[in-house]
Amino acid sequence: MRLLVTGAGGMLGRDLVAAARAHGHECVGLARGALDVTDPSAVQAALADAAPEVIVNCAAWTDVDGAESDEAAALAVNGAGAGNLARAALALGARVVQVSTDYVFDGTATRPYVESDPTAPLSAYGRTKLAGEHEVLAASPEHAVVRTAWLFGAGGANFVATMLGLAAGGRDEVAVVTDQIGCPTFTGHLAEKLLEVAAEGRTGILHAAASGHCSRNEFARAIFAAAGYDVRVTATTSAAQARAAARPAWSVLASERDRRPLPPWADGLDAYLALAPIAVRR
């Protein structure tokens, strides 16, 4: 399979390129500096040059709070940029696998969200990612959208790295919210699922997040315990931690279309810690 991975400089993009090559696929990875997905001409040229069968779009505006003050810029990447890729791919007979997010939901559910549940994003980030879903699926029914949640991986900013950095810096206490529940997903595990989706020609919307769920507070406790840090984790709420963008209280994803779930989030944490720089490990 010939793959083109956009956003290849990010933690998911890096893991996806590595996994594709490890499985023997031809893979071109283009980081943000090599391909601006908001430029239709650049997108067309890049796809013509790489001649991929499948494009996995990991390029995204991921600054959730920053999107609140510059939604137009976030939409240019997450919405129009995804559409540029989807339409250029269609012209070449290629398929797109678009990576999306749990933030397309409002977090008021009492059971895991599945693919057919109605969307209602709370934030500019969620709205722009949902716009990207619409752009991709409107371009062709052969494209796919994979929603995931709470990503963490090597080589990028994420919640696990933040917690480990605080501990390594000498913090012995940290306040973490108890009212955000989700599925912490290791990018190494998600990369394998994205390859599966690409290879099998899956279409439409698919949810792919780690098995099981926990609160941010519970996740922080697990991180410190697994890494061997004695850090006290106290309880706080989202309201007490003023952020520009609202986060869904309930971000648990499940699938009604896939019977091969990702490994449990605790397994992902162990895999991440095995890769973590020694500077942030005891």
| Contact yes or no for 133/98 (Cβ under 8 A) | yes
Catalogue all structural domains in the chain, each as residue range(s) with its CATH number. Answer: 2-156+186-211+252-262 (3.40.50.720)
Share of the chain above pLDDT 90, in %: 94
Q: Is the pLDDT of residue 68 over 70?
A: yes
> What average pLDDT score do residues 259-274 get?
96
Q: Is the predicted pLDDT of residue 280 greater than 90, yes or no?
A: no
272 part of the active site: no
**Measured between alpha carbons, how far is 104 from 137 in angstroms, rounded to an integer?**
15
Task: Give the predicted TM-score (pTM) of the model.
Answer: 0.95
Confidence band of 277 (pLDDT split at 50, 70, 90)? low
pLDDT higher than threshold 80 for residue 64 = yes
Which amino acid belongs to residue 1?
A: M
Kindly tell me if the per-residue pLDDT of 65 is higher than 70.
Answer: yes
Give the pLDDT confidence of 228-262 residue by residue, as tens digits: 999 999 999 999 988 899 999 999 999 999 999 99
DSSP letter string, the chain: -EEEEESTTSHHHHHHHHHHHHTT-EEEEE-TTT--TT-HHHHHHHHHHH--SEEEE------HHHHHH-HHHHHIIIIIIHHHHHHHHHHHT-EEEEEEEGGGS-S--SS-B-TTSPP---SHHHHHHHHHHHHHHHH-TT-EEEEE-SEE-TTS--HHHHHHHHHHTT--EEEEESS-EE--EEHHHHHHHHHHHHHHT--EEEE---BS-EEHHHHHHHHHHHHT---EEEEE-TTTS--SS---SEE-B--SS-SSPPPBHHHHHHHHHHHS-GGG--
Rounded to the nearest angstrom, the gap between the alpha carbon of residue 163 and the centroid of all alpha carbons in its chain is: 19
**Residues 178-208: pLDDT tens digits?**
999 999 999 999 999 999 999 999 999 999 9
Residue 96 phi/psi, 5-degree rounding, is -115, 135
Model pLDDT for residues 96-155, shown as the tens digit of each residue: 999 999 999 999 999 999 999 999 999 999 999 999 999 999 999 999 999 999 999 998
Average pLDDT over residues 256-269: 96
Q: Which one of the listed residues 103, 125, 229, 272 is annotated catalytic?
A: 125
Give the number of other Cβ atoms within 10 Å of residue 127's Cβ. Answer: 21
| Contacting residues for 93 by C-beta, under 8 A, at least 6 apart | none
Tens-digit pLDDT profile for residues 2-48: 999 999 999 999 999 999 999 999 999 999 999 999 999 999 999 99
Q: In this predicted structure, what is the pLDDT of residue 279?
A: 42
Q: Which residue has the tokens 């505006």?
A: 61
The arithmetic mean of pLDDT across residues 265-275, rounded, is 95
C-alpha angle 11-100-58 in degrees, rounded to nearest 5: 35
